[in-house]
Amino acid sequence: MSEIIFIVEESPEGGFEAKALGHSIFTKGDTIEEVKIMLEKPFAAILIEKPLK
């Protein structure tokens, strides 16, 4: 199984930004919890289409 590591930092505009190391994945939110939700949704959709074995 592969891992994707995210760096979460405070945004200069306010809130938080998350960037994946070595991947083109980026999101932001007002709270860290919101950032987590924004990251979980696309990965959940991928796993529904292609379940892990």
pLDDT of residue 46: 64
Give Rg (Cα) of the chain: 12
The total number of residues shown for the chain amounts to 53
Q: For the segment 9-33, what is each residue's pLDDT rounded down to a tens digit?
A: 999 999 999 998 988 888 999 999 9
Q: What is the dihedral of CA 5, 33, 27, 4, to 10 degrees?
A: 10
Domain ranges of the chain: 6-49
Q: What angle do CA 8, 14, 17 make, to 5 degrees?
A: 20
Place of tokens 């991947």: 23
Of the chain, the percentage scoring pLDDT greater than 90 comes to 51
Q: Which of 3-7, 26-30, 38-42, 44-48 has the lowest mean pLDDT?
A: 44-48
pLDDT of residue 47: 63
